[in-house]
Amino acid sequence: MSHTPSEMMTIAAARLLGNDDVCFVGIGAPSAACNLARLTHAPGITLIYESGTLSTRPSVLPLSIGDGELCDTALTTVPVPEMFRYWLQGGRITIGFLGGAQIDRFANLNTTVVGDYAAPKVRLPGGGGAPEIASNCGQIFITMAMGSRAFVEKLPFITSFGHGTGKGDREKLGLRTMGPTRVITDLCVMAPDPESAELSVISLHPGVTREQVQAGCGWPLRFAADLTETPAPSDQELEVLRGLHARTRQAHGVAA
């Protein structure tokens, strides 16, 4: 079966998740990836949304963290302060999913402003819970579509801390978690270099070239010496993902 770049990104992200993971899920691509994993190879995965729903098992993708589908299918719902203090800051979440308007070579994220902070070209939604998620989850997976406006040489504002300016910066701030370990895009998968923490392309999606990836990035990219090709989506993965989107469209009357 043929697939779209967006489907490849979602499926590549879902494959990184395991049955024992406890995931702090975001709306959009992260939600699709986490629920795809739950419906395929990781039925025991625990999905937590920021509204306080624990071990939720939605049949359709939620429109927001306040979607009733999450509460209706959750094991339980706890207050947001408990979610952040006990679950997130308590170190009980293994994987946090994040995205952003912009990302730099060390996986720092900007969701605050484009341009000068005092007089921005664009004012973005802000951090919400993302800075705490970036600091307290065991690992962070970032899902973003490639593009030179999103993958930039220098961020005008760091909303969610990745690896700062290089290896060791998280430790200097007293952070004990791993931070971003994967950046999953519609063209490739990246990971921090073990020595420098700078993002390096470790896998190209089927049919994608190095030149295409570099064209979508605002800094000179590194490519791993053992660069591989991302396995193409299986028929089962595509059928389950498309079924999830189809149910969502039918339930909400919108594209998902």
Please answer whether residues 124 and 114 qualify as being in contact, where contact means their C-beta atoms are separated by less than 8 angstroms: yes
Tokens of 101: 């308007």
- For the chain, helix (H) and strand (E) counts, in that order, are 8, 14
What three-state secondary structure class fits 121? strand
How big is the chain by its Cα radius of gyration, in Å?
18
Answer yes or no: 50 catalytic: yes
Residue found under tokens 């299918």? 73
The catalytic position among 50, 69, 198, 237 is 50
Integer CA distances (angstroms), 105 to 11, 49, 193, 227, in order: 23, 28, 10, 18
Distance CA 71, CA 153 (A): 40
Active site residues: 50
